[in-house]
Structure 1
């Protein structure tokens, strides 16, 4: 099974679309005004940002959208630092990179209201590894 798409509620779909193209290399497939942008990465994963306020009715979303985030893996600490420098130079409010959960990473808030994590691969400690219970 392969993850096909991610759909995020965004307060500013156009700003988020531009950010994902400029910093993360996604390609825009469809734009539906200010309500939706559909993008794709090089592996075929589709990312949708939407501003469907009417669809919030009936859903039990967390009151604090800041717990929602997506992550982008970088090959090295140098790559994380380089992206941090680009975002900072372009005026984004970005946390300084730091060691967290065994990786080198930083977070920033997208214009749509959710967070983006940029990180090196997080190693899984042996005690954390999921092991299926014997049948």
Structure 2
């Protein structure tokens, strides 16, 4: 495990296995992923950011489990699901979705399909920009 990732989880060591499973699935299922550890999030790029993991407070304290990660991904539309804690339209046709994950079983095929879709959406931005040159 990368030293920067270990430092990121220093205050939340119980959440590290959740992250490890998520990162493993992302890097196994999506091509050409770059992972960047930052102060408040770990971001996934292809080459644009399509998802990240953080400890964002997407629920009130009483509703948050003791150990969790928040998986955030972007799409061109609002994805509807009771699993999505918050969805916001950051820019026209750019929706950011936040999903609180507290159990490894929640890193399932449904979540990963959303992440693969976000990666495709992100990659399409690069193709559009290349076509406009």
Q: TM-score, normalised by structure 1?
A: 0.31
| Structure label with greater radius of gyration | 1
More strand by percentage: 1
More helix by percentage: 2
Q: TM-score, normalised by structure 2?
A: 0.31
